Structure 1
Amino acid sequence: MRSWDSLTITEQTLMRRAMSQYSLAGSIQHYGTALRWAGAEDAPPPRSYTQDEQLELVPQVAAVALELAELGLVTVQEVQGSFPAASDIILSGMELQEVLVDPANWLWKPSLPHRFNLTSPEAVREHWLNDAYPTADTSALPTWDELSIAQREVLVCAAEASGMLTGPFGIWEDLPAGLDGAERLAWVDRQLTPLLPFVREGWIEVQHCPDPRSDVFTVIPLDGLRSALADPAVRYDGDDWGIGVGCTFTYSGLAIWRGGWSRAWGSRLTFD
């Protein structure tokens, strides 16, 4: 079996999603992020792909997915219930090709008429999982107990599926009403303090998500965080889930997290 480093970014993206049993829908968006984090020349700008950009990439990514399936490295299952199950049908032959070439199956939406998940055989997961999601040496970094509570909260937030910092499901308090410009920036500075070192190191990426009905996002760069978080419209204080500012681990940040902090967090259960 090939080494992980010999795989293309397209192949690595699909294999990561298969080993994590993620949906086919959203894979092209994930591919764009992987290109950007790798510094590839054909990477998209610091934002999500538009729908048209995703549709243009469907034939290329679908061809790679079909090749991986033919090699037995990836399977595509049609999810019958609310969650993937061992009884879900594994697609093959013309049925598999028809699913992979249909652009609608690659675009993420809140609800889909059919749900298709990428999976991989256990032998493939055992061979590649640690290469796909490596751990980094954290011996020179602070231990979990040496981190502040605010830092720990940010790290756990980045590890979560939603990863929201602001909004009704975010870990940060809303901006108090009645603050003037200087007071608002001072409030934001206090909230940003535990996050900034992780963003500066390239371990965490901060994204603005304006619409819960789509996977649209814009990356907020380090030097833009202060002004963005001081804008109530960006932060969002309504009731809808998924709107506002969120954060996620980059691959290097995930390696740091897996290197020790995740185990320390899991053994503590609380932040105190």
Structure 2
Amino acid sequence: MLLLKTPSVLPGFKISLGLTVLCLSLLVVLPFAMMAAKAAEIGWGGFWNTIAEPNVLAAVWLSLRMSFYAMLTNVVFGTLVAWVLVRYEFPGKGLVNALVDLPFALPTAVTGIALATLYAPNGWIGRFFEPLGIKIAFTPVGIWIALVVVSLPFIVRAVQPVLEELSGEYEEAAATLGANRFTTFRRVLLPEITPALLTGAGMMFARATGEYGSVIFIAGNIPMVSEILPLIITGKLEQFDVQGASAVALFMLLVSFVILFALNVMQWALSRRSGAKG
């Protein structure tokens, strides 16, 4: 009896998988592996001595702290923007929807220069705060504003499709049963959009920790005050300290990976809980 081979469900799967693995290896795995190998040249002790430098620790803490603050801000503000774009019709809605993606389209240097023009002591907005002794540009506050601006689309575009799939009838039913807007959001909407929020927050945080172009113009780059981690890495490269720059970059990569992994675990747990309830 002649046995016929069962055709694959996806013809060409092996070729596609091989090309995928090859591309990921060349574009992602290999560069990170080379960076880790370069950092390993200074040894374990040299690695920790580099990370323990006061200016490096200050830059790591500043980058993580401002990224976290920006993430919290955009979780609230980005959700609000997505809600308005989905639930309301108003003149210029298409323009507002397009403006959300503007930080993705603009070069980051343009964003940084624009923010510095606004918030510098003699800027259009900064001049009103200067007599009050409040500085925005060249302080951590300026870094926070820059990170909020460049990372807002991550939250909006993650939450917006989920809200579009949710019928407004659920909210109307909750209101009919006597629930106020906050209760409706907390009990009806929040459980549905939380996985999307975590996805957007993770991508936003990863982008914010490594943001350079928009931040450098408004940060002031004062050591131990407003010097961001990418500038530390750039400074070490300019000093031909490739091993030290690789060590700092590798450390930040590991920290970001741990945070992203934790967010993904939270998202998986929420999805599993929602599936069990369904």
TM-score tier, shorter chain, comes to under 0.3
Higher helix share: 2
Structure with the larger RCO, 1 or 2 (CA within 8 Å, 6+ apart): 2
TM-score scaled by structure 1? 0.23
TM-score scaled by structure 2? 0.23
